[in-house]
Amino acid sequence: MPKSKSTNSDVVASESVLETVGAGGETHQQASGGSSVLTTDQGMPVSDNQNSLRVGLRGPMAMEDQVYREKMFHFDHERIPERVVHARGYGAHGFFETYDSLADVTSADLFQRAGEKTPVFTRFSTVAGNKGSFDLARDVRGFAVKFYTQEGNWDLVGNNIPVFFIQDPIKFPDLVHAAKQEPDRDFPQAQTAHDNFWDFISLMPESMHMIMWTMSDRAIPRGFRFMEGFGVHTFRMVDAEGKSTFVKFHWRPKLGMQSVVWNEAVKINGADPDFHRRDLWNAISKGEFPEWELGLQLFDEDFANSFAFDVLDSTKLIPEELVPLRIVGRLVLDRLPDNFFAETEQVAFCTQNIVPGLDFSNDPLLQGRNFSYLDTQIKRLGGPNFTHLPINAPKCPFAHFQQDGHMAYHNPKGRVNYEPNSWTPALGAEPGPRETPMGFKTFPEDASGAKLRIRPDSFADHYSQARQFYLSQTLIEQGHIQNALIFELSRVERPDIRLRIVSHLLNIDAELATQVASGLGIAELPAPAPSAVAPNMDLPLSDALSIQKKNPKVLTGRKFGIFVTDGADASLVNGLSAAAIKAGAAVEYIAPVIGGVELSDGTWLAAQYKIDGGPSVLFDFVAVIASANGAARAAKVPAARDFVSDAFGHFKFLAYSPEVKPLLVKAGIVEDLDEACVELSSAKAVKAFVEACKDIRHWTREAGLMEAMNGGTP
């Protein structure tokens, strides 16, 4: 990495102060706006609330940093019993299977033998919402995997986005406070569309890369099975000879990525706030076990030093075009918890939990998480013995001299509870466990320098990769980012906050800033925000950053919703169902009444949903097969009209029998039908419809809508 002098944080702060007189007549310096000088809980004035203390420009954190420790301790202990963040989660058991030995880069036991299967527990979650919030919030998703290896537990605690909002862990409490409900009113819940969040973001330029991701479709995934996962930080792998290789971890879903559109997400939250949970539960229950492959980006110190960005900066990524993934194994989730509370709620992930052959880098955010997670789990689960809970306990042999505390399941047996000791069986006691040369060894990286609260210049470019991400999206995806920003900022009451965000967007892409400003009614663009480092406007595009460019063209895991009425053509219903199932999709039926319908051949078809309880947002693709009488009656039912109009408005593939035209007329879409709206007039049409659905959405329909809204410019 480049050697450079330190820089101050880019946080914008007011320097104007007012003098106020206290109750005893004393004079205080008070920042304008009513804020007193920032102090610790003990009253010590804080000189730097932006950077934690570390050794040298790019060295490890110093444990003596009392400002960080006090701030993080207090933050970790704010709420009980649910998690402060990632409160709403859902998990499953499974295994990780290693494809080939990785002895060339790591001595970690689980990576030594091809075909090795390691038990795992995986928990997915939202970040900002409380435990009772809804699944389809626009939010980062947690993707945490606990590996029960033969040398102890390894927790890979990541997200579905490879970068993060902040560079230094001392800002994490501020980030979460800003994103959560505003404290005076306790709303909005599980939303960032409010003043506090965007005020914080507008004053933290380092967040702009992450903002591009969270305003993209990645933040509203179709389900856990359809999203990627990332370790976020740079870690180390260490081989048997002690050689270190940097590594970034990637999870790739076998089903490919898929997201929903925003209007659809809003309606899913109303129709089924447990949409993601139900999808995972149903898939595993039916034996359709979700799978991901683990990919590694491996690179050495020379690459790290030559890379344009600092690999220790968690707001940056390494494009796959520069360091391709090495696929090393697969994750399979094949068993649901026996009890949600005992397992999913009590599972305790800690980034500090690694095994021999793995190690940390000096990424400051990772080092801060190593401190914070253990403290959080001790507080949330009542004491240090949370490791005794079955979901957290290692599955390999373990032995130590830890004792007592709340809810201790295990204590040392006999007289000896310390080490070293000189007891032997001949002297009346077992000596107990001893350290081993084969145990975990920290990589002996050189670390030296003055103890300073700093951030290196190599962390200072906040816009280049944000621009790279945005421009790597398709035009449709760029439009979604624009619309997400417009929606979120339209809920911000203060015009100056909206203007500050637009000023940052100007450093990313002028057209993006212009579209957002227009959507917010901003007549005159502000000046671009000051930038510590001029953005690189020519970073190459990366197709790996786009969801739409990575469509695997498969229907496995997707769901067809078929709305049927009495007298519906049995051959069409059965033919469409058979074709969808053959392609790997699931089929569910919606009817005017929950009991079901009688088809044209006299057979009875059971339904899973009544029409007003089974809206089209619950399905990936929809069809309406009805008799003439059934279609005419459905046309009078608002829920039936919404079923087709929402599907059309969410750019889904829509099939219908010829008798359904009156319903399409009443729904107001008959004049706009396109090639993704297929009339099922024959078995050939059924086959063509199912094949077309492999595009997942008919984005051409949205492109036409965007063109109309923008006066002819797509």
Phi and psi at 628, nearest 5°, equal -60, -45
The pLDDT value recorded for residue 79 is 60
Look at strands 27-31 and 17-21 and give their pairing.
Answer: antiparallel
**Residue 4 scores a pLDDT above 60:** no
Q: Which of 159, 269, 392, 507 is catalytic?
A: 159
CA distances from 633 to 343, 573, 602 (A): 48, 19, 20
The model's pTM: 0.90
Percent of the chain with pLDDT over 70: 93
N- to C-terminal Cα separation, the chain: 41
- State whether 355 and 472 are in the same domain: no
Phi and psi at 335, nearest 5°, equal -150, 130
Nearest to 519 by CA among 326, 257, 710: 710
* Rounded distance between C-alpha atoms, residue 170 and residue 157, angstroms: 19
**Residue 623 scores a pLDDT above 90:** yes
Is 551 designated active site? no
Structure-derived torsion over alpha carbons of residues 113, 116, 121, 126, reported in degrees to the nearest 10: 60
The region of weakest confidence among 49-58, 164-173, 616-625, 649-658 is 49-58
**Residue 27 scores a pLDDT above 80:** no
The pLDDT value recorded for residue 32 is 37
The pLDDT value recorded for residue 65 is 87
Sole residue written with tokens 């973001």: 201
Confidence of residue 22 (pLDDT cuts 50, 70, 90): very low
Nearest to 694 by CA among 543, 541, 555: 555
CA distances from 104 to 118, 242, 248, 356 (A): 20, 11, 16, 15
Look at strands 141-149 and 117-126 and give their pairing.
Answer: antiparallel
The pLDDT value recorded for residue 598 is 98
Q: Which sign does the torsion angle of CA 249, 538, 8, 305 carry? A: positive
Is 159 designated active site? yes
Question: Considering the domain boundaries, does residue 419 fall inside one?
Answer: no
Averaged over 668-686, what is the pLDDT? 95
**Residue 512 scores a pLDDT above 90:** yes
**Residue 141 scores a pLDDT above 80:** yes
Averaged over 82-111, what is the pLDDT? 96
Quick check: helix, strand or coil at residue 588?
strand
Residue of higher predicted confidence among 483 and 25:
483
Q: What is the overall mean pLDDT for the chain?
A: 92
Token reading at 203: 């004053």
| CB count in 10 Å sphere of residue 310 | 24
- State whether 600 and 480 are in the same domain: no
Highest mean pLDDT among 75-89, 372-386, 496-510: 496-510
- State whether 296 and 357 are in the same domain: yes
**Residue 407 scores a pLDDT above 90:** no
| CB count in 10 Å sphere of residue 550 | 13
**Residue 679 scores a pLDDT above 70:** yes
* Rounded distance between C-alpha atoms, residue 178 and residue 197, angstroms: 5
- State whether 210 and 306 are in the same domain: yes
pLDDT 10s digits, 41-95: 667 778 888 899 889 999 999 887 888 887 887 788 776 478 889 999 999 999 9
- State whether 537 and 647 are in the same domain: no
- State whether 210 and 243 are in the same domain: yes
* Rounded distance between C-alpha atoms, residue 524 and residue 495, angstroms: 13
Nearest to 227 by CA among 193, 198, 252: 252
Averaged over 25-36, what is the pLDDT? 42
**Residue 37 scores a pLDDT above 80:** no
Final residue before a domain boundary, out of 505, 531, 549: 549
Which amino acid makes up residue 293?
Answer: E
Token reading at 237: 């792998």
The region of weakest confidence among 67-71, 222-226, 383-387, 432-436 is 67-71
Question: Considering the domain boundaries, does residue 6 fall inside one?
Answer: no
Final residue before a domain boundary, out of 549, 577, 592: 549
Token reading at 531: 């930038």
- State whether 567 and 654 are in the same domain: yes
Look at strands 586-591 and 559-564 and give their pairing.
Answer: parallel
User: How distant is the alpha carbon of residue 442 from its chain centre?
Assistant: 30
* Rounded distance between C-alpha atoms, residue 333 and residue 714, angstroms: 41
Question: Considering the domain boundaries, does residue 396 fall inside one?
Answer: no
DSSP string across 283-347 = HHHTT---EEEEEEEEE-HHHHHHSSS-TT-TT----TTTS--EEEEEEEEEE--S-HIIIIIT-
Question: Considering the domain boundaries, does residue 441 fall inside one?
Answer: no
- Would you call 709 exposed, middle or buried from its count of C-beta atoms within 10 A (0-12, 13-18, 19+)? exposed
* Rounded distance between C-alpha atoms, residue 300 and residue 287, angstroms: 41
**Residue 455 scores a pLDDT above 70:** yes
Q: Which of 86, 233, 462, 480 is catalytic?
A: 86
- State whether 285 and 177 are in the same domain: yes
**Residue 564 scores a pLDDT above 70:** yes
Quick check: helix, strand or coil at residue 254?
coil
The pLDDT value recorded for residue 208 is 98
Confidence of residue 38 (pLDDT cuts 50, 70, 90): confident
pLDDT 10s digits, 433-451: 988 888 898 999 999 999 9
Quick check: helix, strand or coil at residue 95?
strand
Domain encompassing residue 512: 462-549
- State whether 539 and 581 are in the same domain: no
**DSSP 8-state class, residue 185:** T
Final residue before a domain boundary, out of 388, 407, 440: 388
The pLDDT value recorded for residue 709 is 60
- State whether 240 and 362 are in the same domain: yes
Question: Considering the domain boundaries, does residue 207 fall inside one?
Answer: yes
Averaged over 288-300, what is the pLDDT? 98
Counted residue by residue, the chain has a size of: 714
* Rounded distance between C-alpha atoms, residue 638 and residue 400, angstroms: 65
The pLDDT value recorded for residue 534 is 96
* Rounded distance between C-alpha atoms, residue 494 and residue 496, angstroms: 6
Averaged over 221-247, what is the pLDDT? 98
Confidence of residue 366 (pLDDT cuts 50, 70, 90): very high
The pLDDT value recorded for residue 327 is 98
- State whether 109 and 190 are in the same domain: yes
- State whether 117 and 229 are in the same domain: yes
Instruction: Lay out the sheet containing 35-36: strands in order across.
Output: 17-21, 27-31, 35-36
Confidence of residue 6 (pLDDT cuts 50, 70, 90): very low
> 495-505 and 195-202 helices cross at what angle (nearest 10)?
40
How many degrees, rounded to 5, is the angle at CA 328 between CA 323 and CA 333? 125
The pLDDT value recorded for residue 13 is 38
Averaged over 510-532, what is the pLDDT? 98
Residue of higher predicted confidence among 378 and 712:
378
* Rounded distance between C-alpha atoms, residue 517 and residue 526, angstroms: 10
The pLDDT value recorded for residue 437 is 85
* Rounded distance between C-alpha atoms, residue 198 and residue 464, angstroms: 20
Question: Considering the domain boundaries, does residue 317 fall inside one?
Answer: yes
Question: Considering the domain boundaries, does residue 393 fall inside one?
Answer: no
Q: Are 46 and 53 in contact (CB under 8 A)?
A: no
Averaged over 223-241, what is the pLDDT? 98
Q: Are 248 and 307 in contact (CB under 8 A)?
A: no
pLDDT 10s digits, 177-210: 999 999 999 999 999 999 999 999 999 999 999 9
Question: Considering the domain boundaries, does residue 28 fall inside one?
Answer: no
Residue 515 maps to which CATH number?
Answer: 1.20.1370.20
**Residue 352 scores a pLDDT above 70:** yes
Residue of higher predicted confidence among 66 and 170:
170
Percent of the chain with pLDDT over 90: 81
Residue 91 maps to which CATH number?
Answer: 2.40.180.10
Tally of structural domains, the chain: 3
Averaged over 486-502, what is the pLDDT? 98
